[in-house]
Structure 1
Amino acid sequence: MYDVRGYGQMVYSEPHSYLVKLGLFHWNSWREKHPDVTPMLEGANLNLLDLSGFNLRGANIQGANLFGTDLLEADLTDANLRKADFTGADFRNALLSGADLSEARLIRTQALGTNFERAIFTGVCLEDWNIDSTTNLTGVICDYVYLKSRYSPESKRYVLQERRPHSGTFEPGEFTKLFQKTRETVELIFRKGIDWQAFLVAFQELEKENDNVPVSIQAIETKHRGTVVIHLNVLPEQDKAKIEQSFKQCYKQELQRIEADYLETLGVRVQSEDLITKYRQRNADFKAMIQIMAQAQSDFVLKGISQLE
């Protein structure tokens, strides 16, 4: 139990994990009034909480459960995050410079725009984590990482797999060179849903126009009122504006062709907006297309890692 005194007229004799759950304003106000107190959240259950914007600088969060926790723009500078579980957590634009993430689980963690400068990554599991060129891995300290994990019913724990490197340790700076994304992104926004069949045709045409330079899907997001945003990975030297314009033109042409064929099949000579709307709704749920097009981000990482083997 930790005695947390001095917040307003109230006196807390509860663990700091209780104070965290009071919300952003209460927590950051308490941190501001007690800058010399180290938050003790070791082993705390903080899963699924919204800790976006929280001041967690220097906090002891070792071994805590942060499964699915939102940490957008949170400040975890120099925090002790050893063996913490961040599976499915969202670190976008968060500050983790100097943080100790040794043996932590960053499985399916969102880390776009996250600052990991000088963080310790030794023993961390990076299965399907999501980073891009805005993720800062400068000066990361890392001897080895794992790329997969599997739950073992016999031992009732997760077993880490696919150690990299297979033996020995990374040379200084080698982790950053291997994992730092050199690609950039193009965002394609579809405000009225998306026709996956037309998308696939336009996507394949895009690769042809770029001399078969790989263009991969980084992420697919569903926004408010049916808006879909698709993030494409592209090389820094590629013209992003040209790629976006070319794709949209091809997508529009293919969409018009498909819809025309659809109306012709139905025997409708005059275009019916109602029929087109129903057609788009049907194709917007074309799950098979998602499976074909969605490429795991780890594929790009594994390709680079294979060069070390």
Structure 2
Amino acid sequence: MANVRHVNQLTQGSKRWNQWRKDNPLLQPDLSGTDLSRAFLSGANLRGANLHGANLSGADLRVGDLRQASLNHANLNSALLIGSDLIGASLSHATLRKASLNDAILIGADLSRANLSNADLRGAFLSGASLNGAKLKSVSLSDATLSRADLSSADLSEANLTRTQALRTSFGKSIFTGACLEDWNINSSTKFEAAICEYVYLNRGCRERRPREGTFKPGEFAALFQQAIDTVDLIFKDGIDWQAFFQSFQKLRSQYTDKNLSIQAIERKPGEAFVVRLVMSPGFDKTLVESRAKELYVAEIEALEAQYEERLRLQGQHLEDARQTIEIERQDKASLMAVMSTMASTQQGPTYDMRGAQFGGGFIETNYGTQVGGTINHHHDPNTEDIPRLLTILRNQAQTFPTDQKDEALDILEALQDELAKPDPDQPRIGRRLKKLVALDAAIALPTTTPDDLATFTTNVIELTEKLGIPIEQVQPPSSSNS
């Protein structure tokens, strides 16, 4: 129960409150359970205050102009700080166990050594915040922004980092054992030096475990997620002729064999625009690579058009009719699904290592977009008997994959089968699983399989998609939406 006198003092404003605290240096304010929602508390000295179970939702708790502002060592266990403004706030050594900080603004806040175990930080903004040594065990950070934040030596064991933005974030010496990393977004500037991790999960259902069995060896977790790379963004404002692009990219790779060029992301922007992000070994002139990539692409476009015109001329078509036919064929090639399926089934063109790549924002290993169309009703569908058959066939075919890809494919198929067995299957989740299989088919390097094996696998994935009633054009890497 809060001390009424303490509550009355606080309602008189931060300046009077701070003076009262100065006059009573040994007194510990008891504000437990108080409704302070939307209160203006900017600059208030709440150091060591008991705010257990208090409602501070929407409150202004910024540092303000008063240097005495502080929540250091405060007791905020089970407190409500939903949507609170804590920009630059000082919460060092504060206890926030089971606190609700959904959508709270903690940009640049000091949460070093704070205890946030089991706290709810979904959608919170923590850009540039300091969480050095913070206890974040079982915390929910889904959809939170941790970009440029310092989480060195933080305990993130069993934390939920689903869709968390962690660009340029420091996780040095942090503990990740048991954490869920589904759809999180990191880049080459995200640091994992000496991170401690025995295993992680790649979805919230704790089904896709990495490693599948046993534990990571020292340094293995950091090596898995951190890559020393540079990136080059190729922007296509008016769409892409995918055949021309992949052929030009094959030539680009052959010219820079020592730069480990690969595709990290393909993102569709509003309208017809696409961004293709290339990654390569650091220390090379990225401007030169970008220029050469565009030159090769333009050359492939011109070569293909010349081939089309000659072929159609020989078939007796007039030039104008030929150009219309060329445009129709180009539109067909704009389907990324068609290109990926063709590449997978024929093994023409380069092989791309796209593990860890992004399509529209999330990691290809864990993120495959939002909802897909179609209705899935496998209880009264005549295709019901075909679905288990196709799953079994795909599982058997996945056994021929290299170890890492085999484990991933088996995990996807197991999760897909579990979802289909539910009374009310989650359509978006099923769509994401199918997208994983499509992307895995097209991107996988298969030294132990033949092109025919992969073609059959791809065909079976597409057949399964059709049996589930999902439009085939929608089971492809997403466009501009992030899940």
> Who is 1:155 aligned against?
none
Contact 2:131 2:150 in 1 (8 A): yes
| Counterpart check, 1:93 vs 2:148 | yes
Q: What is the SS of the residue equivalent to 2:295?
A: helix
Residues in 2 aligned to 1:234 and 1:9: alpha-carbon distance in whole angstroms:
47
Q: CA deviation at 1:202?
A: 1.7
Residues 88-125 of structure 1 deviation map (CA, whole Å, 9 limit, x = unaligned): 55543333334321122334544332222332223323
Aligned amino acid, residue 355 of structure 2: A
Q: CA deviation at 1:256?
A: 2.9
Supply the distance in 2 between the matched residues of 1:195 and 1:51 (Cα, whole angstroms): 43
Residue in 2 that maps onto 1:247: 293
Tell me which of 153, 159, 162 is aligned to 2:210: 162
Structure showing greater relative contact order (alpha-carbon pairs closer than 8 Å, 6 or more residues apart)? 1
1: CA distance, partners of 2:283 / 2:213: 30
Q: Go from structure 1 to structure 2 and tell me whether the alpha carbon gap of 1:9 and 1:83 turns closer, same or farther (over 3 Å shift).
A: closer
Match of 2:55 among 5, 8, 15: 15
Q: Is 178-187 or 269-278 further displaced after alignment?
A: 269-278
Q: Alpha carbons of 1:271 and 1:85: their partners in 2 closer, same or farther (altered >3 Å)?
A: farther
The residue type equivalent to 2:228 in the other structure is T
RMSD over equivalenced CA pairs, Å: 4.5
- Say if 2:100 is the partner of 1:44: yes
Q: How much has 1:132 moved relative to structure 2?
A: 3.1
Match of 1:288?
338
Q: Secondary structure at the match of 1:232?
A: strand
1:204 aligns with 2:250: yes
User: Structure 1: where are the runs of 5+ without partners?
Assistant: 152-157
**Residue 145 (1) aligns with residue 237 (2):** no
SS, match of residue 199 in structure 1: helix
The separation in 2 between residues aligned to 1:281 and 1:50, in whole angstroms, is 45
Q: Does 1:73 align with 2:127?
A: yes
1:230 is aligned to: 276
* Residue aligning to 1:111: 166
What amino acid sits opposite 1:28 in the alignment?
I
1:120-146 deviation digits (Å, cap 9, x = unpaired): 223323456443321122343x14122
Distance 1:224 1:249 in 2: 25
TM (norm. structure 2) is: 0.47
Q: Is the 8 A contact 1:16 1:40 kept in 2?
A: no
Greater shift, 109-118 or 82-91, is seen at 82-91
Amino acid at match of 1:75: A
Cα separation, 2, equivalents of 1:97 and 1:202: 42
Q: Residues of 2 paired with 1:112 and 1:134: CA distance?
A: 7
User: Is the CA contact (8 Å cut-off) linking 1:196 and 1:290 kept in structure 2?
Assistant: no
Identity %, equivalent residues: 31
**Inter-CA distance 8–144: structure 2 relative to 1 (3 Å threshold):** closer
Q: Decide whether the 8 Å contact of 1:150 with 1:161 is kept in 2.
A: no
In structure 2, C-alpha distance between the alignment counterparts of 1:278 and 1:27, rounded to whole Å: 55
Superposed, which structure 2 residues align to 1:250-289 within 5 Å? 250-260=296-306, 265=312, 267=317, 269=319, 283-289=333-339
Distance in 1 (CA, whole Å) between partners of 2:126 and 2:307 is 45
Larger radius of gyration: 2
What displacement does 1:259 show?
Answer: 4.4
Question: Structure 1 residues 38, 194: closer, same or farther in 2, change over 3 A?
Answer: farther
The aligned length equals: 286
Query: Quick one: which of 117, 132, 135 aligns to 2:187?
Result: 132
Determine the C-alpha separation between the residues in 2 that align with 1:253 and 1:70.
Answer: 47
Unpaired segments of 5 or more residues in structure 2? 1-31, 45-50, 60-80, 344-351, 357-362, 366-401, 406-483
8 Å CA contact 2:152, 2:173 repeated in 1: yes
1:194 partnered with 2:194: no
On the 8 A contact 1:125/1:145 being kept in 2, the answer is: no
Please report the TM-score for the alignment, with normalisation by the length of structure 1: 0.68
Indicate the structure with greater strand content: 1
